[in-house]
Amino acid sequence: MSARWTVAIAGASLAVVLTFFCAGVNAPAVAGDVATFGRSAVMAALAVGEDSAAAYVGSNKCKMCHAKQYKSWKKNKHAKVMDILKAGNSSEKKTAHNLDPGKDYTTDATCLPCHTVGFGKPGGYVVPAADDKKAVKRAKHLAGVGCESCHGPGGAYLDLHMDLLKSKRKYKVEEMYAAGMNKLGADVCTQCHNEKGPTFDPSHPFDYTKMKDLGAHDHFPLKQREP
């Protein structure tokens, strides 16, 4: 079975399994429940296969353990940037930048790298065939600027996060970086916020200090991370 299919199938069971006992990493019962009842199910659900260690998995996989960040992100402009590409939306901006406001850009490979998660990369966004329900569902969780657009592909570090949830042990942020998570800084944002975007305004280059707090989700204290 290909890694991508494992992820797709796992996604369905994960929602059921994790919503049941993993409302948030702060819930005191979580680690115990994972260790007893659900551990193997969760491990299976999160498994993305060795050959796809750095594959994208979709924002829904993060929601299970980071519900607060997910909820906040959902309200953010980033979560909705796929809608911009639909015909009739952001018409003024499109016209001002020589784009066709009547055109559907949601399948345009020149737009998708910055308006989806991981387009063209392992596990990343793929334009779904309209009659392929599984592909449509998976694409939904990779549309827009998602968790992994900033934090890096989940396949690299989900095992570590699972271990942290189970063990409740302390960790240092360097362990996250070693596992493949991005260190957040201007370079992460300028992957997209650069002159290749058709609406980029060279007179207003990306200002990280100004944009940092606006661009991310609300922040919530971490319990296990050591300074």
Q: How far apart are CA 63 and CA 74, in angstroms?
A: 10
Residues 143-202 that bind ligand HEC (CB under 6 A): 145-151, 154, 158, 161-162, 164-165, 173, 176, 184, 188-189, 191-194, 196-200
Min separation Cβ 137 and ligand HEC, Å: 17
Work out the burial of residue 200: count CB atoms within 10 Å of its CB; fewer than 13 is exposed, 13-18 middle, 19 or more buried: middle
Q: Record the tokens describing residue 133, joined without a space.
A: 């329900």
Task: Give residue number: closest CB to ligand HEC.
Answer: 215
Min separation Cβ 184 and ligand HEC, Å: 4
Is 172 strand, coil or helix?
Answer: strand
In contact, 68 and 220? CB cutoff 8 Å: yes
Min separation Cβ 54 and ligand HEC, Å: 12
- The long-range contacts involving 88-96, CB below 8 angstroms and separated by at least 24 positions, are 93/199, 96/199
Contacting residues toward ligand HEC, per CB under 6 A = 25, 57, 59, 61-62, 64-66, 69-70, 73, 77-78, 81, 84-85, 90, 93-94, 99, 105, 108, 110-111, 113-115, 145-151, 154, 158, 161-162, 164-165, 173, 176, 184, 188-189, 191-194, 196-200, 211-212, 214-217, 219-220, 222-225
